[in-house]
Structure formats: C-alpha cells, structure tokens
Amino acid sequence: MGNTSVVLRNVSKQFHRKTSGPLTALSDVNLEIAPGEIYALVGPSGCGKSTILNLVAGFDHPTGGSVTVDGQPVSRPGPDRGVVFQEHGLFPWLTAMDNVRFGLDVRKIPDSAEKAQYFLRAVGLAGFEKHYPRELSGGMRQRVALARVLANGPSVILMDEPFGALDAQTRLSMQELLLDVWTEFRPTILFITHDVDEAIFVADRIGVMTTRPGRIMTELRSALPRPRTYHDLASAEFGRLKEQILMSIREVIAAKTE
C-alpha cells in the first residue's frame, strides 16, 4: 500500500457557470494522508471542502493537478472509497439489512447477508436488521450508512459533515462510535466538519483551509492519545489545538476582509 493513502498534488478546480463565468473553487491544493490516518478538514463555508472530497470520491475531476488513492489516479467512484454524507442516502423502501447488502449484491459478493449482519453489529445495530430507515432515529440511520460503507471494505472513508444534522448528545456518541470502528478496521478517513471540537476529537491531523479559492493554509497534528474518550475534550492538549485552529480560522477570515 506504500506510505500514502490519499494524495492531492497541486490540485485546482474551476467550475463553469452559465450565467456568471468561471469560479475557481480550489487553487494549488496539496494534501497527503497516510494509511489509517484520520484527517479533518475545517474552513469557512464555501472554501472548497466538499469539492476536495468529491474529487477524492471520483464524483468530479480536477481542472489541474492530480488525485491518487493508494497510488492509483482517481478516475471514477469505487468501492475502495466509501462516502458518508450528512444526509444518510439510504433507500427508504429497504430494511437496514437490505440497505447494507445492496452494494454487495450488485457486485455479486458472496455471503452478503452474513456480512451485512456483521457490519450492522459493528455499528451497534444488532437487532435492528429488519427496521426500515423511517423506523430508526437520525443517529441510527447514520450508523446504517456507515455499516453500508464498511461492508465494502474500503481503504478510504470520506465523510462530509456526517453528523451535522444530529443533536449534540447523539453527535458525541457517533464520534465515539467512529473512533471504535476506526480502531477495529483502521481505514483512512477524510472527515469534513464545521465543528472544531469534532475535528479535534476524531482527527490525527487537522487542515485549516483558506477562503476561496481554497488551499490548505495550516496543518496541525494532534497529540491526543488513542483510544480517546470524552474526558479528552477537557484536556490541555485539546485546549491548545482548539486555540490554534480558532486563531488560524480568524486569520483566514481577516485576510479575506483586508
């Protein structure tokens, strides 16, 4: 697998808009994420966080530069890269089990029922296999979405504000769940969030982006131990990182208004 998992080199992205001309969303983005690393991206709204995630997912292509995952140039979406969005995107007409099985069955993977059951258990949903999404809470639906991604055995999980629609308590338990899942399966995770506390709690490194056109302005490495618990939210290291990230975001915003 080498010592890099996700690599963006000098990536730029322009969007062509019909009415108002081209928009440069990203300019000269360089990013390297190591295998098994959790990397959080924070930055002001519209700075290009989701654009980066979409490029790594293969939903879109860069205008310049290169995007590689496990040494292979990204050209299209694939089961090696699982995506979890804020909206769970489950099929409402399928049970939790069938939602998790769906992609496996499409790819004719054997023993899909057993695999789906295993991953539903891994996200704490044993006993909910036959429930439909409407019968599950918001947090449980996101657990199904995560189980669905894990069932594909991805080397990289891309998460775009995955817990953004959840209440604070559910959000914290989902963050803890994500860390448990990471401990078990060790995927590489690119995690986008507006929430600085969430970024610090989950990540090994945190990238702060500039306003549009987005670049990564600063990267901070967390010295928080693993496994982490909510007690770490009150630690000196947590406070140190939070202060540095908030200072960086402030610089970004000040540079924009100068």
Ligand X SMILES: Nc1ncnc2c1ncn2[C@@H]1O[C@H](COP(=O)(O)OP(=O)(O)OP(=O)(O)O)[C@@H](O)[C@H]1O
Angle between helices 112-122 and 96-106 (to 10 degrees): 130
CB of 247 to ligand X, least distance (A): 19
Q: Considering the complex, state which of residue 50 and residue 142 has its C-beta at the smaller distance from ligand X.
A: 50
Q: Considering the complex, state which of residue 24 and residue 68 has its C-beta at the smaller distance from ligand X.
A: 24
CB of 63 to ligand X, least distance (A): 12
CB of 11 to ligand X, least distance (A): 12
CB of 41 to ligand X, least distance (A): 8
Q: Considering the complex, state which of residue 112 and residue 210 has its C-beta at the smaller distance from ligand X.
A: 210
Rg (C-alpha) for the chain, rounded Å, is 18
Distance CA 136, CA 67 (A): 37
CB of 50 to ligand X, least distance (A): 3
Secondary structure string (H, E, C) spanning 107-153: CCCCCHHHHHHHHHHHCCCCCCCCCCHHHCCHHHHHHHHHHHHHHCC
Please report, for residues 40, 121, 162, the alpha-carbon distance to residue 124 in angstroms, rounded to integers and kept in the order given: 24, 5, 17
Q: Considering the complex, state which of residue 19 and residue 169 has its C-beta at the smaller distance from ligand X.
A: 19
Distance CA 223, CA 212 (A): 30
Q: Considering the complex, state which of residue 13 and residue 228 has its C-beta at the smaller distance from ligand X.
A: 13
The residues binding ligand X (CB under 6 A) are 15, 17, 23, 25, 43, 45-51, 212
CB of 12 to ligand X, least distance (A): 12
β-strand partners of 216? 209
C-beta separation of 182 from 37 below 8 A: no
The vertex-163 CA angle with 157 and 164, nearest 5°, equals 125
Q: Considering the complex, state which of residue 43 and residue 58 has its C-beta at the smaller distance from ligand X.
A: 43
